[in-house]
């Protein structure tokens, strides 16, 4: 079964069946602009044509296994057509309405403000970011990442990458309706920061990005698409040579080779940090783009005084923006703790003293295991429960 939003498959089908080419534009408008996920709801097409297309095409073949909502995020647990599982997260960025700024500021000082208090009355929805998966689970095996503990199952084809966004836009329209200017609310920013290492699914990732930037499809700005990679150097060079013009974020997490091998063993053992930084220099000189460095803050591991200065010296002459990300703790990784907030601020100040721009990321969804490095938590815990039940059954049978 083909996907109706697959431009080439649709074009070939229309030609083979002598259906007017303008129907493709109607279909693309319905799916990409209006958020329709059911062929029968494309009412610009005749009933006969809808029935005909339904024999050979589908728009959505995801099964929603679980949807969990939080004021600042929504997480979807999807079952793919082949039975495999992925997770996708929406993040809502809101601005406090001017008339409520003083009240909320005072409540935060008094620690009476919670995320549960977010409402359309006090906050205006500014933009929506989607964190999409590029693989079913992940082979990189970063020691702090739940997804890495699951192992690798498969690369997602471009259609399953795109369908995460299409599904999200359909959901957003139902949840938020239209904006004040009369246009539909929809995903504005796409980040390849979900399950998987996108550079290890390079061809499908790049093709999906073409759809994201295409005016006939999702029509997203290149500045609103970010690829986050753990540092697959040869694929970064290919990205440059192929002129894939989007934002790039490097999950650096360590300023020296020894620590990087401990944290990201698979990638670090293939390419040492010197070679990686040479590749990054090639990226910035070739594109003129500033690189975003993701840096995890793990207590007593990545936040020591010695490392503060190592990171500053590594990046001081590079066009760098560092995002310090407090480690998102979860029971699946019991031996790792997030850095103390005061330590994070000291770290920030020291790195900035080397002339590097640094921000501390406000992580959305960390308390409910939806943030960076937490995806797959439910799968891990389910496996543990099943293992415990199997052990208990074995003990009972021996009695």
User: How many angstroms separate the first and last alpha carbons of the chain?
Assistant: 52
CATH of the domain at 297: 3.20.20.70
100 shares its domain with 7: no
| Final residue in a domain of this structure, among 58, 75, 97 | 58
50 shares its domain with 171: no
Residue 189: name the closest of 90, 84, 257 by CA. Answer: 90
130 shares its domain with 33: no
Q: Please state, in angstroms and rounded to a whole number, the distance separating the CA atoms of residues 261 and 211.
A: 36
Calculate the alpha carbon distances from 375 to 26, 68, 75, 86, 193 in Å: 36, 13, 10, 9, 10
| Final residue in a domain of this structure, among 21, 36, 58 | 58
270 shares its domain with 161: yes
Q: Looking at the domain assignment, is residue 85 inside a domain?
A: yes
Q: Please state, in angstroms and rounded to a whole number, the distance separating the CA atoms of residues 6 and 12.
A: 10
34 shares its domain with 157: no
15 shares its domain with 91: no
42 shares its domain with 71: no
H helix count then E strand count, the chain = 14, 14
32 shares its domain with 123: no
Q: Looking at the domain assignment, is residue 169 inside a domain?
A: yes
Give pLDDT, residue 105: 85
SS3 state at 2: strand
159 shares its domain with 10: no
Q: Does 87 qualify as catalytic in the annotation?
A: yes
Q: Looking at the domain assignment, is residue 173 inside a domain?
A: yes
Phi and psi for 328 in degrees, rounded to 5?
A: -90, 100
In total, how many domains does the chain have?
2
Give pLDDT, residue 373: 42
Q: Please state, in angstroms and rounded to a whole number, the distance separating the CA atoms of residues 194 and 197.
A: 8
Go through the chain and tell me how many residues it has.
399
> Per residue of the chain (399 residues), what is the pLDDT tens digit?
899 999 999 999 999 999 999 999 999 999 999 999 999 999 999 999 999 999 999 999 999 999 989 888 999 999 999 999 999 999 999 989 999 889 888 887 777 777 778 888 888 899 999 999 999 999 898 988 888 888 899 999 999 999 999 999 999 999 999 988 888 999 999 999 999 999 999 999 999 999 999 999 999 999 999 999 999 999 999 999 999 999 999 999 999 999 999 999 999 988 899 999 999 999 999 999 999 999 999 999 999 999 999 999 999 999 899 999 999 887 777 788 999 999 999 999 999 999 999 999 875 444 444 444 444 455 555 554 454 445 455 445 555
Name the burial class of residue 71, with classes exposed (0-12), middle (13-18) and buried (19+) by CB atoms within 10 angstroms of its CB.
middle
Q: Looking at the domain assignment, is residue 179 inside a domain?
A: yes
Q: Please state, in angstroms and rounded to a whole number, the distance separating the CA atoms of residues 81 and 363.
A: 31
CATH of the domain at 13: 1.10.150.530
Residue 140: name the closest of 253, 244, 239 by CA. Answer: 253
Q: Please state, in angstroms and rounded to a whole number, the distance separating the CA atoms of residues 347 and 340.
A: 11
132 shares its domain with 96: yes
Calculate the alpha carbon distances from 209 to 115, 158, 239 in Å: 33, 9, 12
247 shares its domain with 362: yes
Buried b (16+ CB within 10 A) or exposed e, 289-307: bebbbbbbbbbebbbeeeb
Q: Looking at the domain assignment, is residue 175 inside a domain?
A: yes
Annotated catalytic residue: which of 87, 197, 294, 329?
A: 87
Q: What domain range is 40 assigned to?
A: 2-58
Q: Looking at the domain assignment, is residue 397 inside a domain?
A: no
53 shares its domain with 88: no
Q: Please state, in angstroms and rounded to a whole number, the distance separating the CA atoms of residues 193 and 213.
A: 18
Q: Which runs of E-coded beta strand occur in 146-281? A: 152-155, 189-192, 225-229, 247-251
Nearby residues of 247 by Cβ (< 8 Å), 6 or more positions away: 222, 223, 225, 226, 227, 289, 292
Annotated catalytic residue: which of 131, 138, 142, 372?
A: 372
Q: Does 337 qualify as catalytic in the annotation?
A: no
Q: Please state, in angstroms and rounded to a whole number, the distance separating the CA atoms of residues 292 and 32.
A: 29
Q: Please state, in angstroms and rounded to a whole number, the distance separating the CA atoms of residues 231 and 28.
A: 35
Q: Looking at the domain assignment, is residue 238 inside a domain?
A: yes
| Final residue in a domain of this structure, among 29, 58, 87 | 58
Instruction: Tell whether pTM > 0.85.
Output: yes
Q: Looking at the domain assignment, is residue 228 inside a domain?
A: yes
């Amino acid at each position: 079964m083909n996907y109706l939003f697959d431009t080439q498959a649709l074009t070939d089908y229309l030609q083979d069946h002598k259906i007017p080419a303008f129907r493709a534009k109607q279909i693309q408008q319905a799916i990409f602009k209006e958020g329709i996920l059911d062929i029968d709801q494309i009412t610009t097409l005749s009933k006969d044509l809808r029935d005909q297309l339904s024999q050979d095409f589908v728009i959505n073949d995801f099964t929603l296994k679980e949807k969990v909502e939080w004021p600042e995020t929504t997480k979807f647990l999807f079952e793919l057509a082949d039975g495999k599982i992925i997770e996708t997260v929406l993040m809502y960025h809101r601005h406090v309405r001017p008339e409520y700024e003083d009240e909320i500021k005072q409540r935060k000082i008094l620690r009476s403000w919670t995320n549960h208090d977010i409402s359309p009355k006090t906050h205006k929805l500014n933009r929506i970011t989607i964190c999409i998966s590029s693989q079913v689970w992940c082979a990189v095996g970063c020691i702090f990442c739940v997804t890495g503990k699951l192992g690798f199952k498969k690369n997602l084809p471009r259609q399953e990458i795109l369908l995460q966004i299409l599904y999200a836009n359909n959901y957003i329209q139902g949840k938020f309706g239209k904006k004040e200017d009369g246009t539909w609310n929809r995903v504005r920013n796409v980040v390849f920061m979900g399950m998987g290492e996108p550079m290890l699914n390079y061809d499908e990732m790049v093709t999906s990005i073409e759809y994201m930037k295409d005016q006939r499809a999702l029509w997203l700005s290149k500045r609103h698409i970010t690829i986050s990679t753990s540092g697959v150097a040869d694929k970064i060079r290919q990205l440059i040579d192929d002129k894939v013009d989007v934002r790039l974020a490097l999950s650096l997490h360590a300023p020296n080779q020894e620590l990087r091998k401990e944290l990201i063993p698979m990638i670090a053992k293939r390419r040492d940090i010197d070679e990686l930084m040479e590749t990054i220099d090639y990226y910035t000189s070739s594109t003129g783009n500033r690189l975003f460095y993701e840096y995890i803050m793990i207590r007593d591991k990545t936040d020591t005084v010695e490392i503060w200065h190592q990171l500053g010296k590594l990046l001081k002459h590079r066009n760098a923006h560092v995002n310090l990300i407090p480690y998102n703790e979860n029971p699946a990784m019991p031996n790792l703790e997030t850095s103390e907030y005061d330590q994070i601020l000291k770290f920030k100040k020291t790195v900035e003293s080397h002339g590097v721009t640094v921000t501390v990321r406000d992580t959305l969804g960390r308390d409910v295991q939806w943030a960076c490095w937490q995806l797959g938590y439910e799968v891990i815990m389910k496996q543990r429960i099943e293992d415990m039940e199997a052990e208990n059954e074995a003990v009972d049978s021996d009695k």
